[in-house]
Amino acid sequence: MTLSGRLADGAEFDAIRAIVDGARASDAAVGPGDDAAVLADGTVVSTDVAVEGVHFRAEWIGDAAAGERAVRAALSDLAAMGAHPVAVFASLSGPDRERLVRAGIGVRQGGEAFGASLLGGDLARADGPLTIGVTVLGVLDGRRPWRRSSARPGDVLWVTGDLGAAAAAVATWSSDGVPSDALRDRFARPAPRFAAIDALRTHLDPRAAIDLSDGLAADARHLAAASGVEVVIEAERVPVAPAAVAARSPDDALRLALEGGEDYELLLAAAPSDVGEGADGGEDAVRATSGVPLTRVGRVGEGRGAFLLAADGTRQPLDGGFAHWGAS
């Protein structure tokens, strides 16, 4: 994500607002407040930082895997703009040079897996946790970026892939368990959805998108706040990861899908005229041409905020998720 002046709730966002308040106008096409910035020349840029003990633990995944995970997460912000990746830059700090090297190799290889070369960076000794900063650059090739702020009442909401597996891995580690290889892999190697971009443009023509880093609940709030709309997610339509259901109870897996975050799937808003309400054509065509599953999860309405609609028709505010700066 990028620093943003128009964001949902949360202490981190208060801090970000304090930084960007009073910023001079820039000639960027998309400035602070979206998954990534878009420069006037169409270059798309995003920066993420992953801190040991906050975003990952050395006893969960090794240093190289932590580096690979950090760059995959950062690249996901480019996918959320509909951009394809070009280059990666890494800032690594920590007390142990060998660990920085392993993390740096992970960043390099993680970027290369998606066609993005590691072109620069910096290393620094620090008496603190291993800290992996990643800046990624991408290109739109003349296409329109998918902004957070462009969802409109009446749009249909879609989610790629399935949700909750990464959080189920974290929940298993946090209760001193050992997640299955499948769960661990979903945490360690999230897949930025570049493979689906061209199919999505062709068959869905999304108006708005956000990547699900903070969890469907929190990111639905971000989308609603940025677009000035109401987002309604239908509980029964949320694509909960089968591996999360197998490892946890169904209710817990749904909660993890909503609040756990770290899935790095895409939440997309598209006008219903493009695919039709409940049409099977859009998602089938996207899956057929890209291999990426697509699920209709809700609608955009007039109003403000994000809500979960239960099967019995009751609705409740979508809260929870995004605990990195939480009270704990």
| Helical (H) or strand (E) element with 132 | strand 131-139
| Measured distance between the N- and C-terminal CA atoms of the chain, rounded to whole angstroms | 22
Q: Distances from the Cα of 286 to the Cαs of 5, 82, 154, in angstroms?
A: 33, 14, 21
Minimum distance, C-beta of residue 122 to a second copy, in the bound complex (Å):
5
Nearer to a second copy, 127 or 312 (CB): 127
Nearer to a second copy, 78 or 156 (CB): 78
Nearer to a second copy, 123 or 246 (CB): 123
Minimum distance, C-beta of residue 76 to a second copy, in the bound complex (Å):
13
In sequence order, the 6+-apart residues with CB closer than 8 A to the CB of 153 are 229, 230, 300, 301, 302
Minimum distance, C-beta of residue 73 to a second copy, in the bound complex (Å):
10
Nearer to a second copy, 97 or 304 (CB): 97
Pairwise CA distance, residues 288 & 309, whole Å: 29
Minimum distance, C-beta of residue 7 to a second copy, in the bound complex (Å):
12
Nearer to a second copy, 88 or 247 (CB): 88
Q: Which residues bind a second copy (CB under 8 A)?
A: 1-3, 11-12, 15-16, 18-20, 23-24, 26, 28, 31-32, 36-37, 39, 41, 43, 45-51, 53-55, 86-87, 89-93, 97, 100-101, 104-105, 107-108, 112, 117-129, 131, 133, 135, 137, 324-325
Minimum distance, C-beta of residue 171 to a second copy, in the bound complex (Å):
20
Nearer to a second copy, 2 or 150 (CB): 2
The vertex-309 CA angle with 187 and 191, nearest 5°, equals 20
Query: 159, 148, 241, 224: which is closest to 193 by C-alpha?
Result: 159
Q: Distances from the Cα of 29 to the Cαs of 32, 146, 147, 174, in angstroms?
A: 10, 12, 11, 41
Pairwise CA distance, residues 87 & 249, whole Å: 41
Minimum distance, C-beta of residue 60 to a second copy, in the bound complex (Å):
17
